[in-house]
A and B are shown apart, each in its own frame.
Chain A
Amino acid sequence: MSTVFDFNGASGSGWSQPDSNFQNPDAVPESLRRKRLPGWPRASEPELVRHYTLLSQKTFGIDTGFYPLGSCTMKHNPRVNERIVQLPGIDRIHPLQDSSQVQGLLAIYYEMQEMLAICSGMDAVTLQPVAGAQGEFTAIRCIQEYHRSRGDDHRDKVIVPDSAHGTNPASASMCGYQIIEIPSASDGRLDIDALRAAVGDDTAAMMITNPSTMGLFETNIAEASKIVHEAGGQMYYDGANFNAIIGKTDPGRMGFDAVHYNLHKTFSQPHGGGGPGSGPIGVKDHLSEFLPTPIASRRESQEGEPNGVGDGFYYFWQDVGDNSIGKVQQWNGNAGAVVRAWAFYRRYGRDLERMSEHAVLSSNYLRHKIMNPEPDVAAKINCMPSEGSEASLVMHEFTLSMSPVKEVNGVTGKDVAKRLLDYGYMSPTLYFPQIVPECLMIEPTETESKEVLDKFAADFHAVLSEDPEILTTAPHTTPVKRVDEVWAARNLILRHPGIEED
């Protein structure tokens, strides 16, 4: 059974609907009427349960194995998050309920806004965007309205380094901006001279990730902020790698005006395949009047008012005002994601700083372990990869280049990534950032034990020691073997083959 549509039991099994009470068939034009019943699956309940259980056994997640997927912070999801989010007062409420009935959720929203503002050195936060890229778009729209409000409409360029996430130029482009890409310096960091040459009175903003996708902290960041600000531009912080610095420093101190957070990365919870995410943004005071509306707020409880969470405050939705860019999402953000992130942060408290420390330690440990095999192991390895960056220390993730391996025996980064699946790992991030040839990017996160990291390094060395033929045809033990990605990309199948057109 490949898909649920392949179940075709007794007519009427597996679903039930009331009889049609449609009185006037002529109301729907002949051309729009169905010619046959939809091909709904007809499975019994045990069949359906088995179907999805079997599917879950064929997939791979962080609950089944180590997930070294850099740039994405696919970390362990503490089970306490699920207990909190499934409380009746959280998961059985409706977005249209009156504020007086959802004081608990509003208090969580308020506290999350405050916490994110403090962690990032910003003044105001909205939890409305439901993905990191939507956060980028929201923040760039706020910056755009800020420039317009000052009569600076002519600023039409956004600067991004070539190590940026692809979503940065995409988000700025969606706002109508032209993108200026600046090359990285030879050490993989921001080229400050290239930035100086790129800014001008047409600069609207610079978008940058710090630490970068190379896993490097941008040591010139304060200088970069100064250059962009002196040109009249705004500084935007992509929070994808916030995991590496939280509690140590903050974007506000680096000179940023706006930042997005990926709650689903930095603050755990399951995600992938496009959701569910949460991409709040934080801004400095001068941008706060442009935030999407509304945001969670509170005032002291008045006499006779229900005292929701018992802290003496009444929580409510505050309209942002006439200069707001409007709403970027139908409701008020992805509440489930916000609550899980809040539970995560509450569980850590001030130890969030240690989370960052351990993430950086794990990354440096694994990098050292992979690049310095014991002599007896090294003797068996066909060819070693090279470092993606010459830096002696990295942040929460690091890059390797498989170019030397490709030159010696034709084994590409993709082949190594595919072979790691056979060893029971998720593949590292492949071919990103693009400035590292044959790139593998590895991010172990803070929660993996030393034993897991040692085992991964040993297995990585085992892969490098194998017959190249085994690698170029891998994976061999997964439910789906090597797929023909080129054929798939050239021959798009966008319709389920079982559904025939009438």
Chain B
Amino acid sequence: MGDVPEELKYTEEHEWVRVEGDEVSIGITDFAQNALTEVVWVELPETDIEVSAMESFASVESVKSVSEIYAPVPGTITEVNHSLEDSPEQINEDPYGSGWICKIKVGPDLDMSGLLDAGSYSKLIGE
């Protein structure tokens, strides 16, 4: 049902998290984009705003439905993938690559224990 890269962390709401130093990149999983079907619009957050864990801060819209995107970890949004505004299909074509949504700067004592590893996420989506 979906590709689940080993090196990423996941939420039960189908976001993925890639840790890169003191920043994390966030997107939605292959399973999520497949369930949504073709994405037609992405509502992106502003940069420099603070988000708390599991706060809804963006949304992804397909012809089928609109889905909220939740912050997997607390922090400050540093960068947003503006190329999604013109080509939201990147979320379908490359959910773990060019379809990334934003980057969040996190504190040094980041607690990732609430996130799922690839094995647990695979189990969640019934792989």
Beyond A489-B40, A489-B41, A490-B88, whether A437 also contacts B35 by CB under 8 A is yes
Is A486 an interface residue, CB under 8 A from the partner? yes
B64 touching A490 by the CB < 8 A rule?
A: no
Partner of A489, one of B35, B63, B65: B63
Find chain B residues with CB under 8 A from A434 CB: 65
In the complex, what residue of chain A is closest to B39 when comparing beta carbons? A486
B65 touching A431 by the CB < 8 A rule?
A: yes
Partner of B40, one of A414, A431, A437, A486: A486
When chains A and B are docked, how far (Å) is the Cα of A431 from the Cα of B65?
A: 8
- The proximity string for B residues 51-66 relative to A, scoring 1 for CB distances below 8 Å and 0 otherwise, is 0000000000101110
- The proximity string for A residues 402-414 relative to B, scoring 1 for CB distances below 8 Å and 0 otherwise, is 0000000000001
Is A390 an interface residue, CB under 8 A from the partner? no
Interface centre among B35, B64, B88 (most CB of A within 10 A): B64
In the complex, what residue of chain A is closest to B40 when comparing beta carbons? A489
- State the majority secondary structure of interface residues on B: loop
Is B23 an interface residue, CB under 8 A from the partner? no
In the complex, what residue of chain A is closest to B67 when comparing beta carbons? A434
Find chain A residues with CB under 8 A from B38 CB: 486
- The proximity string for B residues 63-94 relative to A, scoring 1 for CB distances below 8 Å and 0 otherwise, is 11100000000000000000000001000000
Find chain B residues with CB under 8 A from A502 CB: none
- What number of residue pairs across chains A and B have CB atoms under 8 A from each other? 16
Is A485 an interface residue, CB under 8 A from the partner? yes
Q: How large is the interface on A (under 10, 10 to 19, 20 to 34, 35 or more residues)?
A: under 10
- B residues 29-58 near A (Cβ < 8 Å) are 35, 38, 40-41
Find chain A residues with CB under 8 A from B40 CB: 486, 489-490
A431 touching B64 by the CB < 8 A rule?
A: yes
Find chain B residues with CB under 8 A from A414 CB: 64
In the complex, what residue of chain B is closest to A181 when comparing beta carbons? B68
Find chain B residues with CB under 8 A from A485 CB: 63
When chains A and B are docked, how far (Å) is the Cα of A485 from the Cα of B61?
A: 13
What's the least CB distance linking A319 to chain B, in Å? 41
What's the least CB distance linking B33 to chain A, in Å? 13
When chains A and B are docked, how far (Å) is the Cα of A434 from the Cα of B67?
A: 10
- The proximity string for A residues 423-444 relative to B, scoring 1 for CB distances below 8 Å and 0 otherwise, is 0000000010010010000000
When chains A and B are docked, how far (Å) is the Cα of A414 from the Cα of B63?
A: 11
When chains A and B are docked, how far (Å) is the Cα of A188 from the Cα of B61?
A: 24
Interface centre among A434, A437, A486 (most CB of B within 10 A): A486
When chains A and B are docked, how far (Å) is the Cα of A486 from the Cα of B88?
A: 11
What's the least CB distance linking B61 to chain A, in Å? 8
Find chain B residues with CB under 8 A from A486 CB: 38, 40, 63
What's the least CB distance linking A410 to chain B, in Å? 12
Find chain A residues with CB under 8 A from B61 CB: 489
Find chain B residues with CB under 8 A from A490 CB: 40-41, 88
When chains A and B are docked, how far (Å) is the Cα of A431 from the Cα of B40?
A: 16
Find chain A residues with CB under 8 A from B63 CB: 485-486, 489
Find chain A residues with CB under 8 A from B35 CB: 437
In the complex, what residue of chain B is closest to A430 when comparing beta carbons? B64
In the complex, what residue of chain B is closest to A487 when comparing beta carbons? B40
In the complex, what residue of chain A is closest to B35 when comparing beta carbons? A437
When chains A and B are docked, how far (Å) is the Cα of A486 from the Cα of B91?
A: 14
When chains A and B are docked, how far (Å) is the Cα of A485 from the Cα of B88?
A: 14
Find chain A residues with CB under 8 A from B88 CB: 490
When chains A and B are docked, how far (Å) is the Cα of A489 from the Cα of B65?
A: 12
Find chain B residues with CB under 8 A from A437 CB: 35
Find chain B residues with CB under 8 A from A431 CB: 64-65
When chains A and B are docked, how far (Å) is the Cα of A401 from the Cα of B107?
A: 43
In the complex, what residue of chain B is closest to A437 when comparing beta carbons? B35
When chains A and B are docked, how far (Å) is the Cα of A434 from the Cα of B62?
A: 13
Find chain A residues with CB under 8 A from B65 CB: 431, 434
When chains A and B are docked, how far (Å) is the Cα of A76 from the Cα of B35?
A: 35
In the complex, what residue of chain A is closest to B63 when comparing beta carbons? A485
When chains A and B are docked, how far (Å) is the Cα of A434 from the Cα of B61?
A: 13
What's the least CB distance linking B125 to chain A, in Å? 11
When chains A and B are docked, how far (Å) is the Cα of A304 from the Cα of B33?
A: 73
When chains A and B are docked, how far (Å) is the Cα of A489 from the Cα of B89?
A: 12
What's the least CB distance linking A417 to chain B, in Å? 12
- The proximity string for A residues 450-490 relative to B, scoring 1 for CB distances below 8 Å and 0 otherwise, is 00000000000000000000000000000000000110011
A sample of 12 inter-chain contacts (CB < 8 A) reads A414-B64, A431-B64, A431-B65, A437-B35, A485-B63, A486-B63, A489-B40, A489-B41, A489-B61, A489-B63, A490-B40, A490-B41
4 nearest CB pairs, A to B: A489-B40, A485-B63, A486-B38, A431-B64
Interface residue ranges, B against A (CB under 8 Å) = 35, 38, 40-41, 61, 63-65, 88
Further contacts, 8 of them, CB under 8 A, given A414-B64, A437-B35, A489-B61: A431-B64, A431-B65, A485-B63, A486-B40, A486-B63, A489-B40, A489-B41, A490-B41
